[in-house]
Structure 1
């Protein structure tokens, strides 16, 4: 075979080789990854990761549900405790009023402290306003109101958030002795100006303007 023939054969081989290369589909990254996950190691890794993800998501959802249930239960307990103390104090006030309308400012402040102070104080003295739940017996109504406000604030409408914040400020700032009244009725009229269920004192429970929670 002469040199010309050899060159021709070589060129044909090169040409056929190039055609075969062009006809072969290159293996993509997707095919490579798919091939790995079809292997034993890949399937083990995939199952391990899947179980971890599912377990993690389940734990997160379960914890969120438990936290939500705890907050709802705590909100109900705090609301009941606060409203029960207010109701007891209102009953004590009405009983005091039936005995006499006259009262010295310092004595009304002492009566007012029955609502504000913890039912069981550090010195062991018990208030006439009793707790509903034993776990709250050493906490005053302001502490309970703060906690209730913190729990419910993210879910409350802005107008209700403002109302509860006014209630907290009222409990902090209101001092009956500064008013100097000598009449229980005068104090009751003053209390009706403020945003708590105390505004229902002495009112007819059928009054449509009363907050429904106070009836």
Structure 2
């Protein structure tokens, strides 16, 4: 237990510490006041007003010009992204559309309606049209048809699908880079096939699908046709996957109605 004398001594010490603290605070306030008073006196001079206004106006002008420059660059980039996304979307839709046509034609080849056609009265025009569709589908990736209705912007008319994807990747947000890389990889694989599958199949091979045709499909011809059917299904899948990777990139995303049912093996 502390004695009354000790308690009083501690009390007096705390009072003294408080007085010293208050005195130091007053001294600091005085120093701060004098400091700001000096600055305020300088600001109120002609030179101070000129210097301060020049710095403030200059800083505001600089920040505004930088912000406008950034906005202009971002607007141009987004406009380019919009155009590329629109063009690629249309090209992928062409691939989807042509490949789905091939699928329907293959389904027709094995339908009851087709089996009723004999080898003499077969529809040569329909067979030739299917051959044209096959060629068109497998050439969509490498070289665009200059007369194609799926080319949206004339400046891209001579550009293939892969080059459009690569340009889009160079300006796309980081969140989309991985998806675009996967698209480029897939379509490069498609374009790098040494020999186009369509070159293996002639209209006569399709005609030999007729049930009453005297010549039967060889194992090689049957394999090529089945391979082509599988490839057309893959192209459908690749087109849909590519369209999915483009979602959210453009301010004006194009929505297509893919109502055709197909099976991906």
TM-score range, shorter chain: 0.5 to 0.7
Mapped contact 1:78–1:144 kept (Cα < 8 A): yes
RMSD over aligned Cα atoms: 3.7
Mapped contact 2:81–2:172 kept (Cα < 8 A): yes
Distance 1:142 1:42 in 2: 61
- Residue equivalent to 1:117: 143
Question: Is structure 2 residue 186 aligned with structure 1 residue 142?
Answer: no
Q: Give, in angstroms, the shift of residue 54 of structure 1.
A: 0.8
Range with greater deviation from structure 2 (90-99 or 60-69): 90-99
Summarize the Cα distance change of 1:44–1:127 in structure 2 as closer, same or farther, 3 Å threshold: same
Question: Is structure 2 residue 217 aligned with structure 1 residue 191?
Answer: no
- Residue equivalent to 2:83: 77
- Residue equivalent to 1:205: 259
What number of residue pairs does the alignment pair up?
167
Distance 2:38 2:55 in 1: 19
Distance 1:206 1:193 in 2: 12
Summarize the Cα distance change of 1:109–1:206 in structure 2 as closer, same or farther, 3 Å threshold: closer
| TM-score, normalised relative to structure 1 | 0.60
Mapped contact 1:117–1:127 kept (Cα < 8 A): no
Gaps of at least 5 residues in structure 2 are: 1-29, 106-125, 201-223, 245-256
Gaps of at least 5 residues in structure 1 are: 1-24, 120-125, 208-215
Question: Is structure 2 residue 187 aligned with structure 1 residue 171?
Answer: yes
- Give the structure, 1 or 2, with the largest relative contact order (CA under 8 Å, sep 6 or more): 2
Q: What is the CA deviation profile of residues 64-111 of structure 1, one whole-angstrom value per residue up to 9, with x for unaligned ones?
A: 2222222222222111101111223333445566444986xxx96774
Which of residues 35, 39, 54 in structure 2 aligns to 1:48? 54
Secondary structure, counterpart of 1:189 in structure 2? helix
- Residue equivalent to 1:66: 72
Distance 2:233 2:95 in 1: 16
